[in-house]
Amino acid sequence: MRPPLPLRDAAERSDAARNRERLLSAARELIGECGAAGLTMDRLAEQAGVGKGTVFRRFGSRAGLMLTLLSDSEAAFQERFMFGPPPLGPGAPGLERLIAFGEERIAYIIEFGELALAAEDATHGRSQPPAAALWHRHIEVLLREEGFDADPWLMARSLAATLAPDRLLNLLQVHGVSAGRLGATWRDLVTRVVSGA
Amino acid sequence: MRPPLPLRDAAERSDAARNRERLLSAARELIGECGAAGLTMDRLAEQAGVGKGTVFRRFGSRAGLMLTLLSDSEAAFQERFMFGPPPLGPGAPGLERLIAFGEERIAYIIEFGELALAAEDATHGRSQPPAAALWHRHIEVLLREEGFDADPWLMARSLAATLAPDRLLNLLQVHGVSAGRLGATWRDLVTRVVSGA
DNA sequence: AATAGAAACGGACCATAGTCCGTTTAGATC
DNA sequence: GATCTAAACGGACTATGGTCCGTTTCTATT
């Protein structure tokens, strides 16, 4: 007796690991050729030489795949604003950190925006990237630090809405707005919100 | 000779008009039953007793249909903030009009948000409702009126991002935020932005 | 090595938005 | 009323994200 009693965190099966690698590298290749928007799950499965079911078992959805592809750069971004050097990381005044956060986010979107956008429409706007909760919290904490007392939770989300990938990409690509101009308006916005406190 | 030379703005053919009415009333009925999110173009065609091609010929896309369904209430909303009584319409100071605008918009989303949301993802976030340009412009003008000189165009869009249907609906429905709280944060936001000028 | 059962696999299948094109029809002209 | 043409029609077809479930494969256990 003693049925295997699945140990938590059992190691990934070797075929699963191999297929995951195949899928990720095929995805990067396809995105290199056609852009993130041009990647279809069928083509990905074909390119990786696995069945379509395997793709979805692995990543859950198209958005999940994109999230996986982003996870490294996301983690690095989080690391920087949570533990990195000032003014983005701890050590600088809240307002400066807020300003730096927006500027970094804008730079991030310029680099990874297409992926970030594709990672968002998990069934159309539902469930944002899990990382979003962190940004919100981060902004909220900085607002509080600057003495913003009136509903910092909601104000943090309002400010974060300003940095959403779809909006930023639209401004950058469709309207030809420069990163500098986006950064300046962000700085202006958070400065006024904080200084009015 | 003299080939018909299609007069501009030729009257709509009677069968076309009849089918448009059928489609709109079928759409309202289906939305009443299943909600806007539950309306599919196939079911709409079936319910209206027309072919699917007719549906798309008429409205162009699902988003186009939703836009058509919204057009009356949109027009009324525009009318109110452009020509209606203060504080929403002209006659009140810019800041008060801004505050009223946000509050009206929040109320609008509470009433028509589901439709507005469905009207947005025309091929995922591209081309916002044409009305958006008007709101942006409106906010921009009010900002200028209050002496906001640094990039009012972009700041107007940043503020408008705060009122996007998907965000407001998410806060209202998922997070249980009240309309009053949304309104208060909007008021706070625009007040600080304007008063820093 | 044999075995068993959990995990992974694959691809047919489904739902839905949107396109295409051969057919029908309104309505203007003669 | 017959005719003609542009507009409208309809529904089969495509593309794509996502699901289902019978089959295969890995690996721990004996």
Count residue pairs from A and B with Cβ separation < 8 A.
76
Which B-chain residues 84-143 have CB contacts (< 8 A) with chain A? Answer: 117, 121, 124-125
Q: Which of B31, B60, B89 is the last residue of a domain?
A: B60
Instruction: Please give the Cα distance from A146 to A99 (Å, whole number).
Output: 13
Instruction: Say how many domains are in chain B.
Output: 2
- Show Cβ contacts of residue B47 under 8 Å, excluding neighbours closer than 6 positions: B26, B29, B30
Q: Is there a single domain that holds both residue B110 and residue B160? A: yes
Question: Could you tell me the residue range of the domain that residue B169 belongs to?
Answer: 69-195
- Show Cβ contacts of residue A75 under 8 Å, excluding neighbours closer than 6 positions: none
Residue B2 has pLDDT above 50, yes or no: no
Q: Is there a single domain that holds both residue B52 and residue B131? A: no
Q: Which residue bears the tokens 């996301």?
A: A74
Q: Mind listing the pLDDT tens digit for each residue in A28-51?
A: 999 999 999 999 999 999 999 999
- Across the interface, of A125, A189, A196, the residue whose CB is closest to B195 is A196
Tokens for B54?
A: 């007719």
Q: Is there a single domain that holds both residue B95 and residue B160? A: yes
| Residue A173 contacts B where some CB pair is shorter than 8 Å | no
Q: Mind listing the pLDDT tens digit for each residue in A139-170?
A: 999 999 999 999 999 999 999 999 999 999 99
Q: Which of A60, A79, A104 is the last residue of a domain?
A: A60
Contact criterion met (CB below 8 Å) for A17 and A54:
no
Burial of B29 (0-12, 13-18, 19+ CB in 10 A): middle
pTM: predicted TM-score of the whole model, two decimal places: 0.90
Residue in A139, A135, A61, A127 with CA at minimum distance from that of residue A97: A139
- Show Cβ contacts of residue B35 under 8 Å, excluding neighbours closer than 6 positions: B114
Smallest Cα distance from A155 to chain B, Å = 6
Query: Which residues of chain A have a CB within 8 Å of the CB of B158?
Result: 162, 185-186, 189
pLDDT at B197: 63
Q: Is there a single domain that holds both residue A3 and residue A44? A: yes
Q: Is there a single domain that holds both residue A85 and residue A166? A: yes
Q: Is there a single domain that holds both residue A2 and residue A55? A: yes
Q: Is there a single domain that holds both residue B38 and residue B83? A: no
Residues engaging strand D (CB under 7 angstroms): A 2, 4, 11, 13-15, 39-42, 52-53, 56, 60-63, 122-123; B 3-4, 6, 10, 12-13, 15-16, 18-19, 49-54, 56-58
Q: Mind listing the pLDDT tens digit for each residue in B3-19?
A: 444 444 567 888 989 99
Q: Is there a single domain that holds both residue A100 and residue A6? A: no
Q: Is there a single domain that holds both residue A26 and residue A120? A: no
In a 3-state reduction of DSSP, which class is residue A109?
helix
CATH of the domain at B7: 1.10.10.60
| Residue B167 contacts A where some CB pair is shorter than 8 Å | yes
